[in-house]
Amino acid sequence: MKKRFRVWVYKEGEPPIFHRGPMNDIYSIEGQFIDELESDKSPFLAKHPNQALVFFLPISVVNIIVYVYRPYTNYSRARLQNIVKDYIDLVSHRYPYWNRSQGADHFLLSCHDWAPDVSSAYPRLFKHLIRVLCNANTSEGFQPLRDVPLPEIKIPYGKLGQAHMGQPHNKRSIFAFFAGGDHGYARSILFRCWKGKDKDIQVHDYLPKTLNYSASMSQSMYCLCPSGYEVASPRVVESIYAGCVPVIISDDYVLPFSDVLNWTQISVHITISKIPCLKEILKGISMKDYLEKQRRVIQVQRHFVIHRPAKPYDLMYMVMHSLWLRRLNLRLTP
C-alpha cells in the first residue's frame, strides 16, 4: 500500500473553510488530517493528479460551522450542503477525475456531528463519495462498505497525546470507570443505573477535583465509553492509551479500523439496553480473558497514535489503509 497509495488534494478554495481545520480539542482529527495532507512532508501525497489513487476534498465542516454559522442564527444545514456541492461542481468541471468515477475515488473527512448531513440534500451526487466520519452511525446513513469510520481524539493544546501504558494490570484498583457530562440518552441511562451506586462501577459526572481523569483511567481495568450526543467518543482512544479495556456502550456504531482490528479481542461492546446488566456482564469475563484483552489493547496502541508527519502503522496510516481497501473495489473504465 505504501508505495502505490497516493492522494491528490484539490488546490481550489481559500482557508479557513478549505485547507484548514481545528488542530486541538475533540474535533482535532479533522484539522490534523487536512494539515497533514496539505504539508509537503506527508508520505501520502501525489505529485500530479495522474498518480493519485484517491482525491481529497479539503473542506472543514467544523470551520464551516465556526465561520459561516456563528453566531448561530439557524440550524438549517442548507448552507453547509451548498458549500460542499459547489466545491464538487467546481472540481468536476475543471478536471476529469470526479466524472470518471462518479466520486467513488474521492473522499471528504470530518469529525463534526453534522458531517453526515452534508450529503443528505443531494443523495445522487454523494452516492459513491467516500465519507470518513467520526459520527459513524449506521442509522444516520453511514455505509460501512463505502464510508470509513474515523477515531475521535481530544488533542490537548500544544501537543499530540501519546499512548502511555498506564499501571500494570495487577495495580489497577478500579474495576470500571467513567467520568463525563450527561450528554445524550445512553449517558442518562448510565447515570440513572450506576452513578454513586456501586463501588465497582465508578460512574461520575464531572470528576471531583481530587481525582485525576487520565490517572483514574490508568488505574482502571475497564473504562466505560458510552455514546454521547453522537455515537463516537474520544474515550475509546483515551482508554486504549491508558491500557484500559474499553467498554463500548453504543447502538449502530461502526468502530474504526474494523476491517483489520477485531474489536471483540480488545474491548467489550454492549448495547444501550444492556446498561442495567453492566456489572454482571463485566464480572462474567474471566481473569484470563480480561488479561488477554488488556494485552492486546497495549499491542494496538500504536495504531491510535498520531505522528506528524504520519509514520507506518500509526493512526493516519490506518485511516489511509481503510480508504485503500475501499478503493481496491473500484475499477475505473478508461
Ligand X SMILES: *[C@@H]1O[C@H](CO)[C@@H](O)[C@H](O)[C@H]1NC(C)=O
Binding stretches for ligand X (CB under 6 A): 92-93, 96, 99, 137, 139-140, 184, 212, 214-215, 218, 227, 230-231, 252, 262, 264-265
Rounded to 5 degrees, what are φ and ψ at 25? 70, -165
CB of 99 to ligand X, least distance (A): 4
CB of 113 to ligand X, least distance (A): 8
The gap from C-alpha 170 to its chain's centroid, in whole angstroms, comes to 31
The residue length of the chain stands at 334
For ligand X, the closer of residues 101 and 137 by Cβ is 137
For ligand X, the closer of residues 139 and 170 by Cβ is 139
CB of 118 to ligand X, least distance (A): 15
For ligand X, the closer of residues 35 and 117 by Cβ is 117
Tell me how far apart the alpha carbons of residues 164 and 214 are, in angstroms, rounded to a whole number: 10
- Residue 79: all three cell numbers together: 448552507
CB of 92 to ligand X, least distance (A): 5
Please check whether residue 276 is in contact with residue 287, taking contact to mean a CB–CB distance below 8 angstroms.
Answer: no
Burial environment of residue 140 by CB neighbours within 10 A (0 to 12, 13 to 18, 19 or more): middle
The amino acid occupying position 150 is: L
| Of 165, 128, 159, nearest in space to 145 by CA | 128
* β-bridge partners, 174: 220
The amino acid occupying position 249 is: I
Tell me how far apart the alpha carbons of residues 247 and 293 are, in angstroms, rounded to a whole number: 11
Instruction: Give ∠ CA 287-290-295 in degrees, rounded to 5.
Output: 125
For ligand X, the closer of residues 16 and 138 by Cβ is 138
For ligand X, the closer of residues 70 and 171 by Cβ is 171
* β-bridge partners, 18: 59
CB of 163 to ligand X, least distance (A): 12
CB of 216 to ligand X, least distance (A): 9
For ligand X, the closer of residues 24 and 102 by Cβ is 102
| Of 142, 83, 146, 80, nearest in space to 116 by CA | 142
Task: Order the strands of the 174-179 sheet from edge to edge.
Answer: 201-204, 174-179, 220-226, 245-249, 268-270
CB of 191 to ligand X, least distance (A): 15
For ligand X, the closer of residues 99 and 143 by Cβ is 99
